[in-house]
Amino acid sequence: MLPDVLGPTRCRLPPPCPTSRCRFFRPTCLSVRRPPPLSHRSALWSPIMALLLRACARASRAAASRQVSTTAATPAAAAAAAVPTPLPTVSVTPGGVRSVPAGGGTTTILPRPIYLDTQSTTPVDPRVLDAMLPHLTSQYGNPHSRTHAYGWESEAAVETARAEVASLIGADPKEIVFTSGATEANNMAVKGVAAFYASKKRHVVTTQTEHKCVLDSCRQLEARGVEVTYLPVSKDGLVSVDAVADALRPDTALLSVMAVNNEIGVVQPLAELGALCRSRGVFFHTDGAQALGKIPLDVNALSIDLMSLSGHKIYGPKGVGALYVRRRPRVRLEPLIHGGGQERGLRSGTLPPALAVGFGAACAVAARDMPADEAWIAHLSARLLHGLTSQIEQVFINGSTEQRYAGNINISFAGIEGESLLMALKDVAVSSGSACTSASLEPSYVLRALGVDEELAHTSIRFGLGRFTTEAEVDYAVALAVKHVQRLREMSPLWEMMQEGIDIKSIQWSQEH
């Protein structure tokens, strides 16, 4: 069980609960699968909790000095300000930091917005943190040191994590290459395969809605003389298998198609694409960062040759990912990083045992909890969509409504500006697209590829639902979105013109010089 400092119980089961002190924020009760109590690791937890409490206390005092949200006392408070105040009692909750001074007087609350952006990242599952902690403190050996026990135990932990990652996608542990994340894995797959087979095959096929790191890798290949075909997608965001078949050539080395799109959540026909590539002698790579742990994946059944994976998308730590590289039939690729020859020479560099262990633990948890997570997220998704579409007109769902991951809901609201709505929804953490391109003011290239009008593309909001999302959070987000969409439309002359049946596109706006 986790210490009380991590927050109150948020179990969704009605009382009575057989595990009254459960501290996991789980959609269903999985008490029989919980790890053992941490009593045998109390010596480890004590210094960590002390550090956490001191850090929270410093943050609370700094916030109080900035007068974030304070309640003033009597005029005597000014004279008492010079007297040192006792160290406040601090508790950390998913909603923020609450500071209650031991001597009374001032209460400071730092609220945090509701988190509905799980496509950009996910919180670390407490069970994952539990698995990582020993490798951040006592088991700190280099996994590549073969001459002492510190290295042996770290190497064993890394290999166990490798097996856990492989098991989630039906692969052999020897086919998993640890990386720093999915971006590096995508670069390795696209550039590595193209470089190794450059003497015979100089053609790559991908789609227009791929992640930026895949598209930019393809542009790098074009600068080196490799021809790249960017296939369009239909209005529902899916690529046509027939279009892919027509694009493949005898000199095609690789097809790269994202499994689950990070912006609109559509699930591509992986089985059909894999079978097609296998029959044509083309390697099939898929970016599985948004699919891992969310939908069932089997690299052998889907005929996938390379798959990019990420740890922080499935409630694991940031800074770790993996690339699945098929051994039979063997896929060869040139490494991007050279050095000590780790990871079978494909990715040199010392592996971080704590991050690898966290990634493996996240995969193990996902393998056990996938049915429960899938059912819970589907329930929340239906609740969110019904709440929005039943109270707001002119709401458009971007992407296929059937072939999609339920936890990714990309919606456009006609008659408003997406940036204004994002600023209004400051109490809800959502996004207007990929976190990797959020700094750009241009409309999403993914939505433009679907044929979405530029005006609607600017009004899109992506809601990301996850394992720890609650019904109350969804209801609050719906109420806030309904309130501000109606307010912004009342202020918009364009919405009034749309209500009168005027085609906004047909208007020729005059410009005076």
Q: Which residues are catalytic?
A: 436
Q: How far apart are CA 48 and CA 43, in angstroms?
A: 9
| Contact present, 158 and 357 (Cβ < 8 Å) | yes
Q: Cα(first)–Cα(last) distance of the chain, in Å?
A: 70
Taking the C-alpha atoms of residue 250 and residue 240, their distance in angstroms, rounded to an integer, is 20
Helix, strand, or coil (residue 233):
coil
With b meaning 16 or more CB within 10 Å and e meaning fewer, what string describes 399-432?
Answer: bbeeebbbbbbbbbbbbbebebbbebbeebbbbb
Q: Measure the CA–CA gap between 182 and 436, rounded to whole angstroms.
A: 12
Count the residues in the chain: 513
Give CA–CA dist 230/210, Å, rounded.
9
Neighbours of 153 (CB within 10 A): 18
CA–CA gap between residue 190 and residue 419 (Å, rounded)? 34
Question: How far is it, in rounded angstroms, from Cα 56 to Cα 91?
Answer: 8
Decide: 410 and 265 in contact? Cβ < 8 Å.
yes
d(CA 452, CA 132): 44
- Other Cβ atoms less than 10 A from the Cβ of 289: the count is 27
Mind giving me the DSSP string for 59-113? HHHHHHHTTSS-----THHHHHTTSPPPPPEEEEETTEEEEE-TT-S--EEEE--
Task: Please report, to the nearest 10 degrees, the dihedral formed by the alpha carbons of residues 145, 333, 243, 307 taken in order.
Answer: -10
| Beta bridge mates, 410 | 462
- What is the C-alpha to C-alpha distance for residues 90 and 102, in angstroms, rounded to an integer? 10
CA distance 304 to 325: 9
